[in-house]
Amino acid sequence: MSDTIADRFDRIRVPSAYEMVAEAIEAEIVSGRLRPGDEIGTEAALVRQFGVNRSTVREGIRVLEQGGLVRREAGRKLYVCEPRYDALSSRISRALVLQDVTFRELFDAALILEVGAVEGAVAHADAEVIAALEANQSRIEQAIGNPVLLSEIDTEFHALVAHASRNRVLELAREPAALLFFPSSEMICRRVPEGGPRMVEAHRRIIDAIKARDLELARLWMRRHLVDWRKGFVRAGREIDAPVERIFARYALSRSAL
């Protein structure tokens, strides 16, 4: 009977105790009354304050831990943590993989995000970041011929460029895609031998463009660098419209768990 009438009201959600525990602590953190580094207190203390059972407190703590708001230092005290992205990014990467996003989507998004990041880097890079980029460059020049190292250093390069933009929103926005995108360059370098040198040259040009504050040149070489990746991907015999395999998700996850 009632299913023939349009529902006027939403279902009422009664929050459970462990959710209220989590929300109470979260409110303290979001409002700033608890600051990163502060300790939350022992489980027993929380039991006293909230007047609920320890199991309930513990479930609430799990929620906060997963949300990246608190952190347990090596099985010991609970601290409010300075917001860490890694855990969140890897969770998003996992969601992307589960949705079977394609490499084309990944590539199109990376093009937008990485070019955006290098634009920001041209505008805001300071000496410190540029030094880090140069250090990265000298390492990658040593690593030609070693696909595993190449891919790792390349991933770090792009993270550094994003960091140079001094835009934490952008830095975060690109991370889930990067986590899935760059590991595959290992596979490419393995199968396309000229991939390594081309990558090293592109990085060199990008760093130079950032140092020269040359927006157009930076854009150009970042774009070229990524298009190279796509070419290599195809030449390595991969289908660009195929979904990102779930293998990569596992890889991204296991790395971030460390």
Partner DNA sequence: TTTTCCGCTTTGTCCGACAAACGGTCTCAC
Partner DNA sequence: GTGAGACCGTTTGTCGGACAAAGCGGAAAA
Please tell me the distance from the alpha carbon of residue 19 to that of residue 33, in angstroms, as a whole number: 20
Q: Which two tokens stand for residue 126?
A: 């300071």
Please name every residue paired with 80 in a beta bridge, in sequence order, or none if there are none: 70
Q: Is 257 in the site for DNA (CB under 7 A)?
A: no
113 binds its own copies (CB under 8 A): yes
Indicate the SS3 state at residue 82.
coil
Of 60 and 196, CB closest to DNA: 60
Residues between 194 and 233 with contacts to its own copies, criterion CB under 8 A: none
Q: Residue 78: what are its φ and ψ, rounded to 5°?
A: -90, 130
d(CA 51, CA 249): 41
DSSP 8-class letter at 138: H
Q: Of DNA, its own copies, none, which one sits near residue 44, judging by CB under 5 to 8 A according to partner kind? A: DNA
Give the C-alpha separation, 86 to 45, whole Å: 30
112 touches, from DNA, its own copies, none (C-beta below 5 to 8 Å by class): its own copies
The site for DNA, by CB under 7 A, has a size of: 21
Which residue spans within the chain are E strands per DSSP? 70-72, 78-80
- Which range of residues in 27-35, 71-79, 170-178, 194-202 is near DNA by CB under 7 A? 71-79
Residues forming contacts to its own copies in the complex (CB under 8 A) are 10-11, 18, 29-32, 36, 55, 58-59, 62-63, 65-69, 74, 83-85, 88, 91-92, 94-99, 101, 105-106, 108-110, 112-113, 116, 119-120, 166-170, 172-174, 176-177, 246, 249-250, 253, 258
